[in-house]
C-alpha cells in the first residue's frame, strides 16, 4: 500500500497487528485508543503537509535511487539544500503539532545506515548497501514510517555489553542460521514506535571486538513474532486518557512523541534485512552519525514548539491585561531571541553539511552538538519565562469538571474572567496548553532526547580542536609554536 495522505496512514496502521501494552492492557487499535491516538495524529501531520501546496517543496524530495517523488522522511540527503529544507520542515511541523511528530528518528537512522553501509562494503567487500537500498526503495515507495531503535537498557552502566551480568541488557544476536539471525534484547524510549510500520535496529554505542554479537543493524516489521511494546506514561496522561478536551491543553496532539519500550524475544531477521552483522569497528560511526543528525533536528522541531509557547503566553498576557507592561514585552522578546538563536544553530549545522563517500550528506557534527546543547538550555529558559509571564494559575487552575459544574462553574467563570469580553474557556485552554508544554515530560524530552547533555559536552570538547586554538593564541602573543622550555637545571 502506498501511503499518500493522513487518512491512508491511519488505514495502514489498522493493517498491522503489533503487540502493545499500556497500563497492563493490550492496545489493539492505536488510531483510536485515547493514549496513542494523539501521537498518531502528530505523525499523520507529516503526511498531511506533503499534500499542502505551500509545504510540498519542504515535505517532498526526489529519491536519488528511483527518481520518484518521496517523503523527505525517507530521503537520503543529497546536498546542503536537502539538509536545510529538512530543518525548515521540522520547524513548521513543530508549530502545527506543538509536539514531537516522531518520523525524524527513522529518517536519521536511514541516513546513518546508508552512509556507513557504503563504507563497510568498500573496506570489507560486503554487500550491505545493496540490501539496504532494496529495503529503502520499498520504504520510500510505500511511504512507510520507520522507528529508529538505538537506545539499549544498558544494565550496569559501569560495564560494557560483554561484561553485563545479564547479556540481554544490550540487544544482541543469540542464534545464527543460513537464512538469518535471531535477536534478543530491548530498546527504550522509542519515539513513535507503536505507530510505525518498521523498526530499524542499530547499536547503542561503539563496540569492541568482544561484542560482535551486539554489532547488529537490521530492519523488522513492527508486528514480527517475538516483538512486544510497552507504551510509556507521560505527565497528566490521565487527562489525555479520559479525553478531557480543555484540561489536556493540546487535545489533538500528544505532549511529546509517545514513547515505548520495544522488547525483542528471539526475533528472526532474514539476511536481506541485515545491514551490519558483527563488524564492530563501524558501530561508532553509525551511532555518531545518527546522533548528529538528530541533535541538529532538535534545534528545528523545538524552535517550532517554542514559537507556539511564545504565542500562547503572549495571548494569555493579552487576556490578563498584562501584555503592554514593559517587563512582559522584555520577557517575550527574550523568548523570541532564544528561539531564533536555536534555529540559527540548526540551520548552521545544515549549511556546513558535508558529503560522505557514499554521496549522502552529513550535518556538521560540532555544530549539531552545540545545537542540541542549546536545546537543553534555551527550551528550559523559554519555558521558565512563559511560566513567569503566565502566573500561578498554571499550577492552581480548577479542573474542567469544576468549570462545567452546576454547583461551582459560575464561580470559576467569575473569578477567572480576566479582561472584559474574553471567554473564560479560552483563557483556561491557553493556560492548559502552557502547562502541557512546560511540564515534566515535555522538558525531559528536550533534556535527554538525541542524547543527554553530557554526551554533547564530551563531543564538543573532543572536536573543539584545542591544539589549533592554542596555536592561534601563541601566534598572536608572539610565542614560537615550538617554544623553548625552561629546564629543571636552570631553575
Interacting span for ligand SF4 (CB under 6 A) from 95-103, 317-325, 372-380, 422-430: 95-103
Pattern 235-264, ligand SF4, x by CB under 6 A: ----------------------x-------
Tell me, what DSSP letter sits at residue 401? H
From the list 204, 301, 343, 400, the catalytic residue is 301
Scan residues 174-193 and list those touching ligand SF4 (CB under 6 A): 191
SS3 of residue 155 by DSSP: coil
Residue 104 designated active-site: yes
CA–CA separation, 267 and 265 (whole Å): 6
From the list 104, 218, 273, 371, the catalytic residue is 104
Give the number of other CB atoms < 10 A from CB of residue 54.
9
Cβ closest to ligand SF4, residue 248 vs residue 297: 297
CA–CA separation, 286 and 60 (whole Å): 25
Cell of 139: 520504504
DSSP string, 54-86: TTHHHHEEE-TTT--EEEGGGPPP-SHHHHHHH
CA–CA separation, 288 and 37 (whole Å): 32
C-alpha atoms less than 13 angstroms from C-alpha of 370 in its C-beta half-sphere: 18
Secondary structure E strands in 136-270: 146-149, 172-176, 180-191, 198-201, 216-221, 227-231, 259-270
SS3 of residue 103 by DSSP: coil
Cβ closest to ligand SF4, residue 104 vs residue 431: 104
User: Pick from 63, 71, 102, 140: which binds ligand SF4 (CB under 6 A)?
Assistant: 102
CA–CA separation, 482 and 205 (whole Å): 38
Q: Binding of ligand SF4 at residue 298 (CB under 6 A)?
A: yes
Interacting span for ligand SF4 (CB under 6 A) from 65-73, 94-102, 228-236, 483-491: 94-102
User: Pick from 101, 114, 275, 282: which binds ligand SF4 (CB under 6 A)?
Assistant: 101
Cβ closest to ligand SF4, residue 180 vs residue 299: 299
Q: Binding of ligand SF4 at residue 297 (CB under 6 A)?
A: yes
Residue 288 designated active-site: no
User: Pick from 161, 254, 258, 449: which binds ligand SF4 (CB under 6 A)?
Assistant: 449
Residue 294 designated active-site: yes
Give the number of other CB atoms < 10 A from CB of residue 461.
10
Interacting span for ligand SF4 (CB under 6 A) from 100-108, 134-142, 331-339, 465-473: 100-108
From the list 118, 214, 298, 361, the catalytic residue is 298
From the list 198, 279, 435, 445, the catalytic residue is 445
User: Pick from 301, 313, 338, 459: which binds ligand SF4 (CB under 6 A)?
Assistant: 301
Task: State the catalytic residues.
Answer: 100, 104, 191, 259, 294, 298, 301, 445
Amino acid at each position: 500500500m502506498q501511503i499518500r495522505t493522513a487518512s491512508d496512514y491511519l488505514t495502514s496502521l489498522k493493517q498491522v497487528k503489533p503487540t502493545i501494552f499500556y497500563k497492563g492492557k493490550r492496545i489493539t487499535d492505536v488510531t483510536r485508543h485515547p493514549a496513542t491516538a494523539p501521537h498518531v495524529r502528530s505523525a499523520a501531520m507529516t503526511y498531511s503537509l506533503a499534500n499542502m501546496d505551500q509545504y510540498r517543496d519542504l515535505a517532498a524530495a526526489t529519491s536519488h535511487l528511483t527518481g520518484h517523488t518521496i517523503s523527505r522522511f525517507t530521503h537520503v540527503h543529497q546536498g546542503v539544500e536537502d539538509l536545510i529544507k529538512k530543518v525548515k520542515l521540522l520547524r513548521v511541523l513543530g508549530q502545527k503539532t506543538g509536539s514531537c511528530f516522531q518520523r525524524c528518528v527513522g529518517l536519521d537512522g536511514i541516513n546513518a545506515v546508508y552512509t556507513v553501509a557504503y563504507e563497510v562494503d568498500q573496506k570489507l567487500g560486503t554487500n550491505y548497501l545493496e540490501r539496504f537500498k532494496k529495503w529503502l526503495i520499498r520504504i520510500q515507495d510505500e511511504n512507510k514510517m520507520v522507528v529508529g531503535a538505538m537506545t539499549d537498557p544498558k544494565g550496569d552502566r559501569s560495564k560494557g555489553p560483554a561484561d553485563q551480568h545479564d547479556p540481554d541488557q544490550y540487544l544482541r544476536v543469540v542464534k545464527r542460521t543460513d537464512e538469518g539471525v535471531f535477536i534478543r534484547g530491548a530498546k527504550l524510549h522509542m519515539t513513535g514506535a507503536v505507530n510505525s510500520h518498521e523498526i530499524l535496529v542499530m547499536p547503542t554505542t561503539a563496540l569492541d571486538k568482544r561484542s560482535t554479537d551486539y554489532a547488529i543493524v537490521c530492519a523488522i516489521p513492527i508486528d514480527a513474532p517475538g516483538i512486544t511494546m510497552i507504551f510509556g506514561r507521560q505527565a497528566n496522561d490521565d487527562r489525555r486518557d479520559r479525553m478531557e478536551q480543555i484540561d489536556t491543553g493540546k487535545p489533538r496532539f500528544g505532549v511529546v512523541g509517545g514513547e515505548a519500550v520495544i522488547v525483542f524475544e528471539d526475533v528472526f531477521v532474514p539476511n536481506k534485512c541485515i545491514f551490519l552483522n558483527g563488524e564492530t569497528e563501524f558501530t561508532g560511526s553509525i551511532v555518531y552519525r545518527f546522533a548528529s543528525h538528530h541533535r541538529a533536528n532538535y534545534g528545528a522541531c523545538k524552535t517550532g514548539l517554542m514559537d507556539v509557547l511564545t504565542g500562547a503566553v503572549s495571548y494569555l498576557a493579552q487576556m490578563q491585561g498584562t501584555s503592554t507592561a514593559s517587563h512582559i514585552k522584555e520577557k517575550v522578546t527574550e523568548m523570541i531571541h532564544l528561539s531564533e538563536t536555536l534555529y540559527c544553530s540548526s540551520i548552521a549545522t545544515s549549511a556546513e553539511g558535508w558529503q560522505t563517500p557514499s554521496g549522502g550528506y552529513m550535518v556538521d557534527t560540532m555544530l549539531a552538538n552545540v545545537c542540541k546543547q542549546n536545546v537543553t538550555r534555551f527550551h528550559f529558559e523559554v519555558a521558565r519565562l512563559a511560566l513567569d509571564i503566565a502566573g500561578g494559575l498554571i499550577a492552581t487552575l480548577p479542573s474542567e469538571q469544576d468549570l462545567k459544574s452546576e454547583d461551582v462553574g459560575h464561580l470559576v467563570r467569575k473569578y477567572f474572567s480576566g479582561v472584559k469580553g474574553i471567554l473564560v474557556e479560552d483563557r483556561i485552554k491557553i493556560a492548559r496548553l502552557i502547562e502541557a508544554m512546560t511540564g515534566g515530560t515535555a522538558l525531559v524530552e528536550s533534556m535527554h532526547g538525541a542524547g543527554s547533555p553530557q554526551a554533547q559536552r564530551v563531543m564538543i570538547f573532543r572536536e573543539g580542536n584545542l591544539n589549533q586554538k592554542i596555536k592561534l593564541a601563541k601566534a598572536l602573543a608572539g610565542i614560537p609554536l615550538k617554544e623553548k622550555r625552561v629546564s629543571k637545571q636552570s631553575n
